[in-house]
């Protein structure tokens, strides 16, 4: 029995492979989308429980657009409005460059913002905590 | 009555009449003179008001704000000061792609706000002659200043001169704004370029790091001791490379020539503090270092360019983590006082030798014991911190005893 279905959205197949080894090795089911458009198509079809989302894919802020469309939500994405999103990017705290123009971190429409490479333990802990919160909210396990 | 008496009487009468006529003439002349003086004074007053308006407008050229505001104000106030029926400042957009924009005040003849229509063709029933003053910078026509006179109030040469002066002020303001916009666009292009470059350089290294971590933790296959040892080395080198890329790109992003011009926005120091302490926490947990923090309530707002305050805090915190041995302690605090906001990082780390304190903020300098503990480093972090602290008029202080610990203190004065 899978512990949850996770959608990995990243244009780097090697990174996806690394993530897959960790997540599948820990009992999660993994899906992959190589850009934002494919991710938005896959969500209603595959109904993932959580998404790990890269930021810079086809353009500099693609990940943000995907997250905003889910949170807004766009037509067809309503059931996924509250799906936990972990943003994972090669540019984060350490570079000191903020991605979203002129806004604060509070403004990020995601639950977690992590920098690559991420420690497997840390990623697993965050995923577990976020999934527990969602299923806790639904009153089931 | 004797004849002499008649003669004397007539002479006296003639004298009185002559005096009365002269007196009346003198009186009329005086009245005329008084009116003339009043007219000149009113004229001078208008010119003076016009000059004050020009001076006030020119002192605002460098201040932030929209050109529209200034054009609207000049149209209105010139109209009022010079007693016009109505005025229009018409600006041609740079490049000539869009419609010209008009900023009008008062009552204007039909078609006066239309820059496409030559001023000579503007209908003037109920107005004096319409007047057009070109707004130009060198050979370039930037727009037009149109004035509609009242029939009884025509501008004299000096008043036209004042209107020309005001048109010149608008021209300089327009020129300044368009250069400012070009600079902002260049700054934005540069920011995007650095962002894209940072990403392209870091992304492959980050993927290597991710694959190595997965291997090290045995997700692919169980590793032998030697394999693990070598992979640990790869992991260390990847981390070092990621840090180096961050430092170099930070330095490039903060290039002084453009760095100084970066737009400042209100930033909450408390939010920056919380985020940076949180970011340091993971590293502390990995190294078994105890991290404590304290800050006052409230957001502590400061005007700063994006990312500057983050860089100051993150550099000092990551140094503390890097040069404190497992089991040590780090305390970060933020204090608000009359002399400014004080950010302090105190650690029980390896400390800085006395001889190294002098060169601490020099680019590429690293203290010998720092090199010994952490072989790789750029020596750029503290140089960058000092540059940023100075940019905000602040000061940085260091207190350290080798082998005991270090305290860095940054004071950012009130704005």
Tell me the domain boundaries of chain B.
Answer: 57-183, 263-415
State whether residue B184 sits within 8 Å of chain A by CB. no
Report the topology of domain B57-183.
Answer: Beta-Lactamase (3.30.450)
Residue B376's pLDDT band (cuts 50, 70, 90): low
Closest CA in chain B for residue A99: B195
Determine how β-strand A112-115 pairs with β-strand A85-89: parallel
**Residue A52 within a domain:** yes
pLDDT, residue A50, reads 96
Show the CA angle centred on residue B260, arms to residues B259 and B261, nearest 5°.
90
Determine how β-strand B140-148 pairs with β-strand B130-137: antiparallel
Q: How far apart are CA B307 and CA B325, in angstroms?
A: 29
Helix (H) or strand (E) holding B343: strand B340-347
**Residue A35 within a domain:** yes
CATH number where A27 lies: 3.40.50.2300
pLDDT, residue A101, reads 35
pLDDT, residue B380, reads 72
CB-based contact B213 A19, cutoff 8 Å: no
Q: How far apart are CA B324 and CA B330, in angstroms?
A: 8
- The arrangement of strands across the sheet holding A85-89 comes to A29-33, A5-9, A50-53, A85-89, A112-115
pLDDT, residue B291, reads 94
State whether residue B220 sits within 8 Å of chain A by CB. yes
User: Which of B207, B213, B249 comes nearest A119 by C-beta?
Assistant: B213
Predicted ipTM? 0.84
**Residue A17 within a domain:** yes
**Residue A137 within a domain:** no
Residue B303's pLDDT band (cuts 50, 70, 90): confident
CB-based contact B213 A106, cutoff 8 Å: no
DSSP B144: E
**Residue A89 within a domain:** yes
Give me the CATH code for the B263-415 domain, please: 3.30.565.10
User: Is residue B130 scored above 60 in pLDDT?
Assistant: yes
**What are the pLDDT digits (tens) for B149-165?**
887 778 888 889 999 99
pTM, 2 dp: 0.55
Q: Could you tell me the residue range of the domain that residue A90 belongs to?
A: 5-131
């Amino acid at each position: 029995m899978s512990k949850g279905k996770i959608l990995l959205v990243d244009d780097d197949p090697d990174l996806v492979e690394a993530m897959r080894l960790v997540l599948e090795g820990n009992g999660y089911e993994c899906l992959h989308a190589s850009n934002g458009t494919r991710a938005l198509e896959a969500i209603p079809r595959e109904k993932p429980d959580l998404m790990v989302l890269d930021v810079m894919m086809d353009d500099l802020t693609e990940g943000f657009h995907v997250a905003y469309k889910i949170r807004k939500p766009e037509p067809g994405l309503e059931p996924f409005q509250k799906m936990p999103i972990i943003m994972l990017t090669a540019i984060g705290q350490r570079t000191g460059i903020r991605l979203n123009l002129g806004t604060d971190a509070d403004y990020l429409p995601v639950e977690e913002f992590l920098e690559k490479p991420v420690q497997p333990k840390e990623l697993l802990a965050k995923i577990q905590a976020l999934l527990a919160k969602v299923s806790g909210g639904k009153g089931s396990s | 009555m004797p004849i002499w008496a008649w003669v004397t009487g007539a002479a006296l009468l003639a004298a009185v009449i002559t005096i009365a006529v002269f007196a009346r003439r003198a009186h009329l002349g005086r009245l005329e003179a008084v009116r003339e003086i009043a007219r000149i004074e009113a004229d001078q007053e208008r010119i003076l008001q016009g000059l004050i308006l020009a001076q006030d407008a020119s002192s605002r050229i460098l201040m932030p704000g929209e050109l529209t505001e200034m054009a609207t104000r000049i149209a209105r106030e010139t109209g009022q000061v010079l007693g016009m029926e109505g005025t229009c400042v018409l600006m041609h957009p740079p490049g000539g792609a869009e419609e010209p924009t008009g900023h009008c005040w008062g009552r204007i003849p039909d078609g006066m706000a239309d820059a496409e229509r030559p001023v000579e063709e503007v209908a003037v029933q109920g107005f004096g002659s319409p007047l057009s003053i070109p707004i130009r910078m060198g050979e370039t026509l930037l727009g037009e200043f149109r004035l509609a006179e009242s029939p009884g109030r025509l501008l004299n040469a000096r008043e036209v001169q004042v209107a020309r002066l005001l048109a010149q002020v608008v021209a300089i303001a327009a020129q300044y704004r368009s250069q400012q916009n070009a600079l902002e666009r260049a700054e934005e292009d540069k920011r995007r370029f650095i962002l894209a470059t940072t990403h392209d350089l870091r992304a492959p290294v980050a993927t290597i790091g991710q694959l190595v971590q997965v291997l090290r933790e045995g997700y692919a296959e169980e590793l032998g001791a030697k394999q693990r040892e070598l992979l640990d080395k790869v992991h260390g080198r990847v981390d070092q490379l990621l840090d180096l890329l961050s430092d170099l790109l930070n330095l490039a992003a903060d290039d002084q020539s453009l760095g100084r011009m970066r737009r400042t926005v209100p930033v909450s120091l408390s939010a920056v503090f919380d985020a940076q302490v949180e970011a340091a926490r993971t590293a502390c947990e990995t190294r078994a270092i105890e991290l404590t923090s304290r800050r006052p309530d409230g957001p502590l707002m400061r005007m700063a360019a994006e990312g500057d305050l983050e860089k100051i805090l993150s550099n000092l915190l990551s140094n503390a983590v890097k040069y404190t041995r497992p089991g040590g302690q780090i305390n970060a605090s933020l204090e608000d006082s009359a002399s400014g906001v004080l950010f302090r990082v105190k650690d029980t780390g390896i400390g800085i030798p006395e001889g190294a304190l002098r060169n601490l903020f020099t680019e590429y300098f690293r203290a010998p014991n720092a090199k010994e503990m952490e072989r790789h480093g750029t020596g750029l972090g503290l140089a960058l911190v000092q540059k940023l602290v100075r940019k905000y008029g602040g000061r940085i202080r260091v207190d350290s005893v080798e082998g005991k610990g270090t305290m860095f203190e940054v004071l950012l004065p009130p704005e």
